[in-house]
Structure 1
Amino acid sequence: MFSSFNIHTLFLYLVLKFRYRQPRFSSRRQYRRVVFKHGECNVVQGKVAKRRRKYLQDIFTTLVDAQWRWTLLVFAMNFMLSWLGFAVVWWLIALNHGDLDLSVRDNNSTWEPCVREVYSFTSCFLFSVETQHTIGYGSKHTTEECPQAIFIMCLQSIVGVMIQAFMVGVVFAKLSRPKKRTQTLLFSRNAVICQRDGILCLMFRVGDMRKSHIIEAHVRAQLIKKKMTIEGELLPFHQQELKVGGDGEEDRIFFIWPTTIVHKITPESPLYMLSAADFLQEKFEIVVVLEGVIESTGMTTQARSSYLPNEILWGHRFETLVSFKKETGEHEVDYSLFNNTYVVDTPLCSAHDLKKLISLRAHTGKIDDSFLEKKKKINLFIQLFNVPFNYVT
């Protein structure tokens, strides 16, 4: 029975069987991803000249992108430093005018201070807070005695408004970032390869949990892998665009329910020459991007994910998850089935070989010996080792 097998074919499909029994989630230690499954880019910007200065030059974006604890720390420090800074200024004004010398004030009944009810640095600090936030308790106030005190009062009021406006803008920008909208945009855990209308297709699923939809939604996909040019230059992250579309032909989708995104493996596709066995040896990453306008805010958002070769299930198809409920007259989406797939009959050969096989059948009605021998070996292997694929008959 095993005499018809060559050692290479047996070993290759033993690996195939073992590979598709591995967990569907990959480990970061095993694979160096460019984009993680949750959409974060695995890129660190290092050794940038004058990095801190450049970040400070765009302080607004820096604070918006920073974590909340750092933004709130800067928020608190801005107010504390402004209060203390102006408290020192008020203390110097009072000290220069002699307002802090109680003996002079007590012996002179006509003495007029720059700021009433200011006797120490603590009272200067309290007056600084009241002035900046226009609290106005009524006991402490400036007089006409010192023009410099009137100028500082006006200046601190302007600075206080500017600080509040800046920090409110930062907090509002962080809360309304379209990045948070991506938390409710879903990508399927795995991509699949199966036939649709006789053509091998790479498919993955996208979904939106919210009732407010994404307007003008469209999907892009890029294959990233190493490439050696004819001049010998190594391109470690060469990008190739994959033409994708929804259940129709265009990349723009009517995104009111989960949609299956399809890439037809045609001669223009970089996956055209790859068979199921080749997926075990190839090292690449397919980065998928979903973009659109948030209906409720009008802002543009972008969600990302990626698929490694071991996350692409050959010979599977997604289960249907949209059903019509007669009781309510509504279409119901069951998100518990979002990642579910089932096995379908799919040829293990590449799209190129499949096209050649179909062409031979159409023109001659026969298949040459090499294709028949390959088919027998694969079918026998499937029966012996229960590989979860069936070769097309």
Structure 2
Amino acid sequence: MTRSLREWFKDYRLEQRSHKKRVVTKDGRCNIKFGNVMHRNRFTYVLDFWTTLVETRWRFIIFYFVASYTLSWFIFGLLWYWLARSNGDLLWQNPPPDHNPCAYSLNGMTYAFLYSLETQGTVGYGNVYVTDQCPGGVALIIIQMIVGLFIRIFWGGIVITKITLPKKRAKTITFSESAVICPKKGTLCLQIRVANLRKTLMIGSQIYGKLLRTTITGGETNILDQVSINFMVDAGKDNLFFVCPLTLYHIIDKSSPFFDMAVDTMHQQDFELVVFLDGMAETTSSSCQVRTSYIPQEIMWGYDFLPIISRSKEGKYRVDFSNFTKVVPVPTAHCSRCYHNEPGNHLEGTDNKSFEVFDMELPNCNKM
């Protein structure tokens, strides 16, 4: 029992350490912290209040929603109370029998608040109502109805916008937990698998990547130096027909930053491969971006993905997602230079001569 708890704690620490050193998490969130932001720059968040509210968490949206309505009811309740007091309608003012009130039965602040709520919510219980003998009351009820209408429109727009955010559509796009390196079509390739969990297409899908690493040039340290990584499928790299899971591959040639890496030095490198998929949802016509990242420990050298698309006897195509994370060892050179017979290789032979299929589950990776 003690040993299992110790192993669990060790795996948890490794997972947290892997999470902290990422720029982009496995689920696409940017792990960036801003510091020493000037106060005048923070004020821009208030000026762009619409975007600020749309990006606010739901619990704060609900709080602001309730607070805005309650505050408006209270403010207009004060105005109704002030109007009734100015006209001498309150009971403690002892109005004469022939007195023409602005609002019947508005005898205190509680009645004023309830009348404000009934007016703005168009409830109209009938106990308290405005008369035609008070122009100020008629003007105030018009103003409150207009203000209440704008509040409903504003919060309705906020809720609809948050519900239809493209980020929700991006949740149904999933990447493989790890990448693999193996031969493909006569060259060495880095491969990633991506799947669309909905039957609706992502129109105009494009896939690309960025390799983030720290470089030193001329004595100057460049943190998060970005190198473009091109990905493609058999039909090209733009306007993907994303109706079924796709295997994306990056050709490791002399122009690739992975060309000088090898199976025994890959996990010693310090880099992060961020993969982007841009597209437009077919149902809402809203563009969205899906992101994920891979660190060296999540790139498996000498393995290939198992096929997941088959055809039934009835002629229908079937996608077996049980093989989505499964890989199989394949004969692969230890380095790209070895594969292309380039000088400078330090190892000879092949890796992974056993051919046992297993499920590719990495305990040190963040789950999507």
2:324 counterpart (338, 343, 352) = 338
CA distance, structure 1, for counterparts of residue 104 and residue 332 of structure 2: 89
1:33 correspondence with 2:30 = no
Aligned counterpart for 1:214 among listed residues 202, 212, 219: 202
Other-structure match for 2:139: 151
Q: 1:114 aligns with which of 99, 102, 107?
A: 102
Cα separation, partners in 2 of 1:251 and 1:223, compared to 1, 3 Å: farther
C-alpha separation between the residues in 2 aligned to 1:189 and 1:221? 16
2:343 maps to 1:355: no
Match of 1:73 among 53, 63, 69: 63
Q: Is the 8 A contact 1:283 1:309 kept in 2?
A: yes
TM (norm. structure 2) is 0.87
Aligned equivalent of 1:138, options 84, 108, 126: 126
Partner of 1:11: none
- The correspondence of residues 1-393 of structure 1 with structure 2, limited to 5 A, is 27-30=15-18, 32-50=21-39, 53-102=43-92, 104-105=94-95, 108-230=96-218, 232-327=219-314, 329-349=315-335, 351-357=336-342, 374-375=347-348
Does the CA contact (< 8 Å) of 2:329 and 2:352 recur in 1?
A: no
* Root-mean-square deviation (Å): 2.5
Give the superposition deviation at 1:81: 0.2
Query: TM-score scaled to structure 1, two decimals?
Result: 0.82
Distance 1:342 1:192 in 2: 10
Structure 2 portions without partners, runs of 5+: 1-9, 357-368
Rate the CA distance shift 1:382–1:99 in 2: closer, same or farther, 3 A: closer
CA spacing shift, 1:26–1:344, aligned 2, 3 Å? farther
Per-residue CA distance 1:69-117 (angstroms, 9 max, x = gap): 1000000000000000100111111111111135633xx2221001112
**Length, aligned pairs only:** 344
Structure 1 spans left out of the alignment, 5+ residues: 1-21, 361-369, 389-393
Q: Are the counterparts in 2 of residues 218 and 292 from structure 1 also a CA contact under 8 Å?
A: yes
Deviation at 1:153, TM superposition (A): 1.1
Q: Percent identity?
A: 35
Task: Report the structure number with the largest CA radius of gyration.
Answer: 1
Q: Which residue of 2 aligns with 1:363?
A: none
Q: Does the residue aligned with 1:235 lie in a helix, a strand or coil?
A: strand
Provide the C-alpha distance between the structure 2 equivalents of 1:126 and 1:374, rounded to a whole number of angstroms.
83
Give the C-alpha shift of residue 68 in structure 1: 0.7
How far residue 374 of structure 1 moved from its aligned partner, in angstroms, is 4.3
- Find the aligned partners of 1:317 and 1:26 in 2 and give their Cα distance: 26
Change (3 A) 1:52 1:182: same
- Larger strand percent: 2
**Which letter does structure 2 place at the counterpart of 1:134?**
T
- CA drift of 1:122 comes to 1.0
After TM superposition, the runs of 4+ consecutive aligned structure 1 residues lying more than 3 A away are none
